[in-house]
């Protein structure tokens, strides 16, 4: 059954979705000095790598071209010039060694079909007769076998197979949640997990979620993959880069779907109307806004100016959606962080206005005179979240008002970050009046590895915020890693944040 799942995954993915699993395959199959290359002077060379034959000790330079889908004669004739180029073109990546014997590898997630196998045979004879680069082809059956049965990355082991199939079943029946994804992804972390296996499992899960139109949860999986690759000491820079590219690509897909709905402020609202719109509309808005903000941070880090400009323009407009400033629980506090800090890098006034709307929403939802029951904690499920949001005006509700709030901590920290004295003091005064208790978690990240809870994570049930002059003089918690990665990992974790890293985020 799992082989069928892997086969379906290969049949439906794109070339860029295959980056992570392909890197993992190369690593466990003995390739070294592996580099992705997609520059203007590197046509036909998706990946460069070297491999030493253990029997002869000879090292060869591999030039690997990856293609999605079956390859018939037209596709073969299109890709053949790219393979031929490796025979003579030595211009490219600094790691390319022109003095080593060369091997061209064509990796296809499908099969050679039609007249392509015969043409490939003739091509092999031709290059062999001329003493040029060898040609190796990896087809779908090879990839299915390696991705299923390899002892280091294969997903067909008893425990791995059962857990992964359970996740895929949940995806199919609509039962998978952000909470379940984060808990499942802890298996990818050391000491038991590896970035290589995480890349394969994440790619399969992302592919399955995309096919069920859960792009938002696919992005959640991508964030967990970044967490896994960053904490595996054996993970290469290219593996880490591939994980970030995956998240950036998913964020761009969200941007693609959002941009056409921004011409009329009501278009996006109309697209989310349904029986549960009071709950689903703000959830969708917060997810989209967070994806745009994280995409902007990653695009700037990658120096992708075109993508960064698209994210800037879309985020600036989308932040005006009422639902983007109405997080339905503490689970969406990181959305507020990402949107506010990234919006502040391009429009500080817009960031202040957005944060003010979030603050008003949070205070209203805790106000008993407005039938507020508080907003859901990270531990509360979707039903409790909906009940807190909708049941306050019902005489039949037995739910007590929740007074603790991680979102309150986020709002106050962001007001400090923006230097907004009046907003900070107003929120602080209202929090005290409504008896809201700011809370968060703390962790030793070298041990906790940005997990939401568990070993190395402890709750801080009350976070004290003093008057502005005293609080502003305090040192803020510094980020344990670079600012962009800290922002991304906080989105993966969702139970804590490090304001000390916000000031170092790249600006436009």
Please state the domain extents for the chain: 2-148, 317-504
Is 70 exceeded by the pLDDT of residue 87? no
**Could you tell me the fold of the domain covering 2-148?**
Restriction Endonuclease (3.40.91)
Residue 150, classed as helix, strand or coil, is coil
Q: Using CA atoms, how far apart are residues 44 and 135, in angstroms rounded to an integer?
A: 13
What's the confidence (pLDDT) of residue 42?
36
Least confident of 62-66, 357-361, 392-396: 392-396
Q: Using CA atoms, how far apart are residues 322 and 340, in angstroms rounded to an integer?
A: 15
pTM confidence score: 0.89
For residue 437, name the pLDDT band (cuts at 50, 70, 90).
very high
For residue 11, name the pLDDT band (cuts at 50, 70, 90).
confident
Kindly state the DSSP code that residue 401 receives in the 8-state scheme: P
- Please give the average per-residue pLDDT across 34-61, as a whole number: 76
Q: Using CA atoms, how far apart are residues 494 and 450, in angstroms rounded to an integer?
A: 9
Residue 102 · residue 133 · CB < 8 Å: yes
Among residues 507, 475, 505, which one has the least CA distance to residue 490? 505
Q: Which helix (H) or strand (E) holds 47?
A: strand 47-52
Q: Using CA atoms, how far apart are residues 357 and 343, in angstroms rounded to an integer?
A: 14
**249-292, pLDDT tens digit by residue?**
999 999 999 999 998 878 888 877 776 778 899 999 999 999 99
- Please give the average per-residue pLDDT across 477-494, as a whole number: 96
Show the tokens assigned to 48: 């460069």
Is 50 exceeded by the pLDDT of residue 43? no
Q: Using CA atoms, how far apart are residues 10 and 172, in angstroms rounded to an integer?
A: 18
- Please give the average per-residue pLDDT across 134-161, as a whole number: 78
């Amino acid at each position: 059954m799992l082989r069928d799942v892997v086969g379906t995954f290969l049949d439906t993915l794109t070339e860029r979705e295959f980056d992570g699993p392909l890197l993992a395959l190369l690593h466990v199959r003995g390739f070294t000095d592996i580099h992705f290359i997609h520059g203007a002077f590197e046509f036909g060379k998706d990946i460069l790598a070297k491999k030493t034959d253990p029997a002869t000790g000879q090292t060869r330079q591999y030039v690997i071209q990856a293609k999605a889908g079956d390859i018939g004669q037209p596709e073969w004739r299109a890709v053949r010039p790219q393979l031929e180029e490796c025979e003579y073109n030595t211009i490219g990546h600094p790691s390319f060694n022109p003095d080593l014997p060369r091997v061209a590898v064509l990796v296809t997630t499908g099969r050679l079909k039609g007249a392509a196998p015969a043409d490939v045979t003739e091509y092999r004879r031709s290059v062999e007769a001329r003493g040029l680069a060898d040609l190796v082809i990896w087809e779908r059956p090879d990839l299915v076998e390696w991705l299923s049965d390899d002892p280091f990355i294969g997903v067909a082991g008893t425990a791995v197979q059962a857990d992964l199939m359970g996740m895929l079943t949940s995806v199919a029946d609509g039962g998978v949640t952000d909470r379940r994804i984060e808990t499942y992804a802890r298996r990818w972390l050391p000491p038991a997990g590896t970035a290589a296996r995480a890349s394969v499992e994440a790619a399969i899960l992302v592919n399955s979620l995309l096919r069920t139109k859960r792009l938002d949860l696919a992005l959640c999986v991508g964030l967990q993959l970044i967490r896994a690759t960053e904490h595996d000491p054996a993970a290469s820079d290219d593996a880490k880069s591939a994980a970030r590219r995956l998240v950036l690509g998913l964020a761009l897909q969200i941007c693609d779907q959002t941009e056409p709905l921004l011409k009329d402020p009501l278009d996006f609202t109309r697209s989310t109307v349904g029986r549960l719109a009071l709950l689903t509309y703000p959830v969708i808005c917060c997810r989209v806004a967070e994806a745009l903000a994280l995409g902007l941070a990653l695009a700037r880090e990658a120096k992708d100016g075109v993508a960064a400009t698209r994210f800037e323009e879309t985020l600036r407009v989308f932040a005006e959606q009422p639902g983007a400033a109405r997080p339905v629980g503490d689970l969406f506090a990181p959305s507020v962080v990402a949107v506010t800090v990234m919006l502040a890098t391009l429009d500080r006034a817009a960031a202040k206005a957005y944060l003010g709307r979030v603050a008003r929403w949070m205070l209203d939802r805790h106000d008993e005179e407005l039938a507020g029951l508080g907003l859901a904690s990270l531990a509360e499920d979707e039903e409790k979240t909906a009940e807190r949001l909708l049941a306050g005006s019902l005489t039949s509700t037995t739910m007590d008002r929740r007074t603790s709030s991680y979102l309150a901590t986020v709002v106050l920290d962001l007001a400090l970050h923006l230097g907004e004295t009046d907003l900070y003091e107003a929120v602080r005064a209202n929090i005290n009046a409504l008896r809201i208790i700011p809370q968060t978690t703390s962790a030793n990240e070298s041990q906790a590895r940005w997990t939401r809870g568990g070993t190395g994570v402890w709750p801080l049930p009350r976070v004290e915020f003093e008057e502005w002059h005293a609080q502003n003089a305090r040192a803020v918690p510094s980020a344990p890693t670079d600012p962009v990665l800290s922002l991304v990992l906080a989105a993966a974790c969702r139970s804590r944040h490090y304001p000390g890293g916000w000031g170092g985020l790249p600006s436009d």
